[in-house]
């Protein structure tokens, strides 16, 4: 009797790929590689690295075919599967006191309420995991495949406090897995969501010291302030970081940077941009970000944007003949920095008027200040009737990945119709901003074409 394998349904075959040469098609399934069942995408990715493969497939009609494949080690088969992970996503069973998803308003898309805590997504997409929602088998596979780097939501190295903050009685015990990762030479990055009264001050000092023992395998740790929406009824009492606490946090972090850098050549521990702005301290210079390892956590994003903006601006000769009137919308957090940069651009190009509109977040609450959580509804409400020029520029992070839709399901087209101008979504870098504002052409056709290109780009 033939062995029963888990079937992985193919939904697309890349043109010119090995799979196309084999005449595999959407509707067929992959059953095994080298006689081994494929548990998920990790198995598939690592098995496919072999230069010789025996691939067992089943056609949509039920016929099983064994293919013998010779290929380059890094050559992909060209298959897309029905499930991105070739398995169910691992959900989070923690009840973290700071969880943003627990602070979401009701009535939004169901997918926005799903909490993932999946180590495979950490390796494939850079997501952060707590190491508490995986079996021993799943953890052993991280070590077996040497998945690196793994991004870990640490928050505190105090086991008792971690159990309290994550509302998971195994959260403290899970910290021991850091030792196993370190001993097996697996790269790591860490994250600390700073909650005043819980893991700040002396507790933060203790956590940094404990994590520094994993250097150089743990390359970086970010410290980000807790984000609180207006939807916290029934949740743990938390408050925002004060200016004095933000300054104290920076002092702690920069003190550790000075200790660790001479020995390891890494600054290791980094405060997010938001903490520097809250403390009204200047952002660190580029060299202190160690190659921007924590950009996705808002660490160094503004410094990188500023440097890119100014460097790109230098590449353009001052030209008073360039005439443009446009507007830029962002969250209230980056507005002071962006306003300063736009003034620098206008000094060099006096014919270019860029009007900046910081958008207050009424949807989630005014304490939410990042651009990526600005909604279409707030954008429309606050900009209707305002002078916007020939186009409105927004950061691509305001939109769902790969879609023309804001977080509140308002479509870009709706916002354009309500505001009477085309919206141009830009990658979050200073180069795109300068090049776009200095474009000499006018008219919605050019802007719409540019927007379509940007939205279909590499945003994650």
User: Mean pLDDT, to the nearest integer, of 76-95?
Assistant: 83
Per-residue CA distances from 260 to 206, 284, 293, 344 (Å): 15, 16, 16, 36
**Does 8-81 match 305-455 in CATH topology?**
no
Share of the chain above pLDDT 90, in %: 73
Give the per-residue pLDDT at 445.
36
Mean pLDDT of the chain, nearest integer: 89
Give the per-residue pLDDT at 119.
66
Q: Which of 383, 435, 447, 428 is nearest to 410 (CA)?
A: 383
Per-residue CA distances from 381 to 64, 384, 418 (Å): 58, 6, 9
Give the per-residue pLDDT at 365.
95
CA distance 243 to 225: 12
**82 with 30: CB under 8 angstroms?**
no
What predicted TM-score, i.e. pTM, was given to this entire model? 0.84
CA distance 458 to 460: 6
User: Mean pLDDT, to the nearest integer, of 59-78?
Assistant: 91
pLDDT tens digits for 100-112? 888 988 877 776 7
CA distance 165 to 317: 54
Give the per-residue pLDDT at 122.
64
pLDDT tens digits for 115-158? 776 667 666 666 888 999 888 988 998 898 888 899 999 999 99
DSSP 83: S
Which phi and psi (to 5°) does residue 406 adopt?
-80, 170
pLDDT tens digits for 396-424? 999 987 789 999 999 999 999 999 999 99
CA distance 96 to 128: 14
CA distance 362 to 331: 11
**DSSP count for the chain of H helices, then E strands:** 15, 15
The domain defined by 305-455 folds into: Rossmann fold (3.40.50)
Return the structure tokens found at 434: 């300068």
Look-up of token digits 């010291």: 209
Residue 67 banded pLDDT, cuts 50, 70, 90: very high
Share of the chain above pLDDT 70, in %: 92
Instruction: Indicate the angle between helix axes 243-264 and 202-212, nearest 10 degrees.
Output: 20
User: Mean pLDDT, to the nearest integer, of 321-333?
Assistant: 93
pLDDT tens digits for 214-256? 999 999 999 999 999 999 999 999 999 999 999 999 999 999 9
**272 with 248: CB under 8 angstroms?**
no
Going across the sheet that includes 352-359, the strands are: 352-359, 324-331, 392-395, 423-426
Whether 114 shows a pLDDT value over 80: the answer reads no
What's the CATH code, domain 101-299?
Answer: 3.80.30.10
User: Mean pLDDT, to the nearest integer, of 296-309?
Assistant: 95
Q: Which helix (H) or strand (E) holds 460?
A: none
User: Mean pLDDT, to the nearest integer, of 76-88?
Assistant: 85
Whether 456 shows a pLDDT value over 70: the answer reads no
Whether 453 shows a pLDDT value over 70: the answer reads no
Whether 447 shows a pLDDT value over 80: the answer reads no
Give the per-residue pLDDT at 452.
35
Q: Specify the range with the lowest mean pLDDT, choosing from 53-57, 173-177, 287-291.
A: 53-57
The rounded radius of gyration (Å) of the Cα atoms in the chain is 25
DSSP 353: E
CA distance 36 to 369: 49
pLDDT tens digits for 419-440? 999 999 998 899 999 999 998 4
pLDDT tens digits for 229-240? 999 999 999 999
CATH architecture designation of domain 8-81: Roll (2.30)
Beta-bridge mates of residue 70: 52
Q: What residue segments make up the domains of the chain, in order of their start?
A: 8-81, 101-299, 305-455
């Amino acid at each position: 009797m033939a062995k029963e394998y888990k079937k992985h349904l193919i939904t697309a075959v890349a043109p010119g790929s090995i799979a196309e040469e084999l005449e595999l098609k959407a509707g067929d399934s992959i059953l095994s590689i080298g006689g081994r069942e494929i548990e998920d995408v990790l198995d598939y990715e690592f098995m496919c690295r072999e230069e010789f493969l025996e691939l067992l497939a089943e056609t949509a009609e039920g016929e099983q075919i064994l293919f013998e494949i010779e290929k380059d080690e890094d050559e992909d088969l060209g298959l897309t599967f029905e499930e991105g992970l070739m398995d169910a996503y691992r959900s989070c069973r923690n009840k973290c006191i700071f969880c943003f998803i627990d602070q979401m308003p009701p009535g939004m898309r169901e997918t926005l309420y799903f909490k993932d805590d999946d180590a495979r997504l950490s390796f494939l997409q850079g997501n952060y995991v707590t190491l508490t929602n995986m079996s021993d088998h799943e953890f052993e596979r991280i070590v077996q495949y040497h998945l690196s780097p793994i991004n870990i939501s640490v928050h505190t190295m105090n086991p008792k406090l971690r159990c309290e903050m994550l509302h998971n009685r195994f959260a403290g015990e899970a910290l021991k897995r850091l030792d196993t990762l370190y001993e097996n030479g697996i790269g790591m990055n860490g994250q600390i969501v700073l909650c005043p009264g819980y893991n700040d001050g002396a507790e933060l000092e203790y956590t940094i010291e404990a994590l520094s023992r994993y250097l150089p395998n743990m390359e970086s740790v970010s410290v980000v302030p807790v984000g609180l929406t207006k939807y916290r009824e029934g949740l743990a009492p938390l408050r925002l970081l004060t200016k004095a606490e933000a300054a104290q946090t920076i002092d702690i972090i920069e003190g550790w940077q000075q200790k660790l850098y001479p020995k390891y050549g890494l600054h290791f521990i980094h405060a997010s941009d938001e903490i520097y702005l809250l403390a009204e301290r200047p952002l660190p210079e580029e060299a202190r970000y160690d190659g921007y390892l924590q950009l996705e956590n808002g660490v160094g994003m503004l410094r990188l944007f500023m440097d890119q903006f100014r460097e790109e601006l230098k590449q353009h000769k001052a030209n008073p003949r360039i005439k443009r009137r446009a507007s830029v919308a962002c969250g209230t957090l980056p507005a002071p920095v962006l306003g300063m940069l736009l003034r620098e651009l206008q000094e060099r190009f006096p014919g270019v008027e860029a009007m900046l509109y910081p958008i207050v977040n009424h949807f989630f609450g005014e304490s939410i200040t990042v651009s990526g959580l600005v909604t279409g509804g707030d954008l429309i409400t606050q900009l209707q009737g305002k002078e916007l020029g020939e186009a409105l520029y927004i950061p691509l992070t305001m939109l769902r990945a790969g879609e023309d839709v804001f977080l509140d399901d308002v479509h870009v087209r709706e916002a354009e119709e309500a505001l009477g101008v085309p919206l141009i979504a830009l990658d979050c870098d200073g180069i795109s901003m300068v090049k776009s504002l200095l474009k000499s052409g006018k008219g919605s056709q050019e802007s719409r074409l540019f927007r379509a290109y940007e939205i279909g780009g590499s945003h994650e």
